[in-house]
Amino acid sequence: MIPQLYSFLKIIFIFLLFDILIYLRLCRLAVWKSQPLTANVIWWLLNIFSYACMFLDLFFEWNNFIAACFMFFPISLLLAKTILLFSIGVDILSIFFRNIGRRLTNNNTIPDVNNKTIGRSDFIIKSGLLLSSIPLVALTRGFISNIYNYQIKQVNLILPDLPKSFEGKTIAQISDIHAGSLYNLNAVKNGISLLLSQKPDIIFFTGDLVNDFADEMDDYLSIFGKLTAPLGVFSILGNHDYGDYHFNRFHFNNERKLTKQQNLNNVKDIHRKLGWQLLLNESKEIVLNNEKITLVGVENWG
């Protein structure tokens, strides 16, 4: 069996166990009992769709934006389930300690079936359901509306023993472009214009130019090539730039014939084409008025 498929099936098996645990607890809710068919169909369709997205992203090669969509749903649903599992754990512990308390106090009071107030367990689980909706809403909003919500964050940087010639200089830092997830050229142009409007003296790019492949930058070379500064533009690689998230996986219809090393070399070439000075475990001296500082660029180690 393909090792990646075997690992995938192990992960799905673990997730399925958690799904069954959540399902068994949700079945006890009154709202679930009132509409069991609808609730069951919705619950298992969501899970089947989530597993299908994981499978398609892992074993097939897609446009990077589509791949991002495939992974968005399972990740957001997993976060929601994690919160729900925590509330179920709290519920189980609550029942456990209540039973111990009753045994110690010989309190065997039969619950009032006519009591219409919400039970402690249902309150805990419903609270968990409410909290679990937060990551779904937040991630959906971020994925849909915040991808191009570029903002400037101004920070006063204090460096001990900074040479006088460098005081008051403006550093612009930009990071995590992930070109494969972009699809709006005009929005990206506006982001670059916003950065350049700050008139930075030096620009640092701190990694993740692409999701996986160098050719994700093909449509954006002219846009990011406009990033210039008097003291230069310096860059490092991010974890995604090494291609690990694609080349370490199996793809049934892998149409890309280049190797991982060739792809990495192409990513490095893009930095040079853009006029960025890529620091690969290297240092670079910046000299002003016979005073200097040293920039150090470290490769990803994790």
Task: Give residue 144's pLDDT band: very low, low, confident or very high (50, 70, 90).
Answer: low
Q: Does one domain contain both 289 and 183?
A: yes
Least confident window among 130-134, 138-142, 267-271: 138-142
Which residues does 288 contact at the CB level (< 8 Å), separation at least 6? 163, 165, 166, 231
- Does the pLDDT value for residue 115 go beyond 80? no
Percent over 90 (pLDDT), the chain: 38
Question: CATH number for the domain including 189?
Answer: 3.60.21.10
User: Which residue range is the domain that position 33 belongs to?
Assistant: 3-145
Least confident window among 81-95, 108-122, 136-150: 108-122
* pLDDT score at 2: 59
Q: Does one domain contain both 87 and 136?
A: yes
Beta strands, E only, 144-276: 171-174, 202-206, 233-236
* pLDDT score at 265: 96
Higher pLDDT, 288 or 256: 288
* H or E segment to which residue 296 belongs: strand 291-297
Q: What share of the chain is helix, strand, coil (3-state, %, to 5)?
A: 55, 10, 35
pLDDT digits (tens, 9 = 90+) for 243-262: 887 776 665 555 567 888 99
Q: 222-238 in b/e burial notation, b at 16+ Cβ within 10 A?
A: ebbeebebebbbbbbbb
- Give the C-alpha separation, 291 to 159, whole Å: 15
Q: Does one domain contain both 172 and 50?
A: no
pLDDT digits (tens, 9 = 90+) for 161-215: 899 999 999 999 999 999 988 888 999 999 999 999 999 999 999 999 998 899 9
Which residues does 254 contact at the CB level (< 8 Å), separation at least 6? 61
pLDDT digits (tens, 9 = 90+) for 37-96: 888 898 899 888 888 887 777 666 665 566 666 677 788 888 888 888 888 888 888 888
* pLDDT score at 1: 47
Q: Does one domain contain both 29 and 78?
A: yes
- Per-chain mean pLDDT for the chain: 84
- Does the pLDDT value for residue 293 go beyond 50? yes
* pLDDT score at 73: 77
Q: Is residue 156 included in any domain, yes or no?
A: no
**Where a domain ends, among 145, 179, 210?**
145
